[in-house]
Amino acid sequence: MELEQAKLKLAWLYPEYLNLYGDQGNIICLQKRAEWRHITLQVDKISLQDEFKAAAYDLVFMGGGQDQEQEALHQDLLENKATELRKYIRSGGVMLTICGGYQLLGKYYKSADGKLTPGIDVLPLVTLAQSRRLIGNLAFVADLPLPEADRRMYGFENHSGLTYFLDERGEMLRGEKETEAAARFAFGRVIKGNGNNGEDGYEGCHYLNCFGTYAHGSFLPKNPAFADYLLTTALQKKYKLAADFTLPPLQENILTALRAQLQQLQA
């Protein structure tokens, strides 16, 4: 396949509401890494009242925001986009969600005063608010078909919500005895920081080709191999490419040095 002919479309959901801690950098990273391979990546900003159609997009991104910002878009998400988003994710669409966006894909968010805010119920998880915030550098090892060094993911977390996975009966997986069951849903295993809840040792969620994480930062510039993984998966799905298709490598001396420094700092 000639990459110069490849065209991908990315839906950036609620960019003016969910753009906390430099989440826009994830979009810039995907744009530049596509551009450097001569791949056309069109980014559509989709916000309140805008239509989202699952069949129209090859990638979707939704960032994080403060509670009041998430409340502003919550009704629109449930009423105008949830059905198509569930269709997109369940059909294997490639998606990355950060922090608040990640929580909104679960069954519900429960505030400290007991108020339940429903999510779109596509990821098997719930989030419970607490008074203490989980803040600091975050590092985890992802269960992905990448070289060992590239499976190490780095970011920065700042969240008061504790996220737990649900089993087939809809019961929360919580406690040491449930860690093995939770592992099949997790994006990765925490090696520094708190991750989903600071208890079970897992971070984020990986369901089909949808990924959720608490890692701000921006996340993708610190983890370029994963950015390429998202682009590669989108290309494979759209153009029915072979399972062993890979993007041509880039000269990334600065990024390689950054990754080495991150690994040393997070050791």
State the catalytic residues: 99, 216
For the chain, the 3-state helix, strand and coil shares in percent, each to the nearest 5, are: 35, 30, 35
| Identity of residue 73 | L
Dihedral (CA of 15, 21, 27, 28) sign: positive
Preceding omega of 218 cis (within 30 degrees of 0): yes
DSSP assignments along 129-192, one per residue: EEEEEEEEEEEEEE-SSS-GGGGEEEEEEEEEEEEEEB-TTS-B--SGGGHHHHHTT-SEEEEE
Under a CB-based contact definition with an 8 Å cutoff, are residues 217 and 132 in contact? no
Copy the structure tokens of residue 66: 């403060």
Residue with tokens 């985890």: 140
Beta-strand pair 94-98/59-62: parallel
**Among 106, 189, 181, CA closest to 144:** 189
Task: Tell me phi and psi for residue 31, to 5 degrees.
Answer: -60, -50
**Among 186, 224, 229, CA closest to 205:** 186
Under a CB-based contact definition with an 8 Å cutoff, are residues 154 and 187 in contact? no
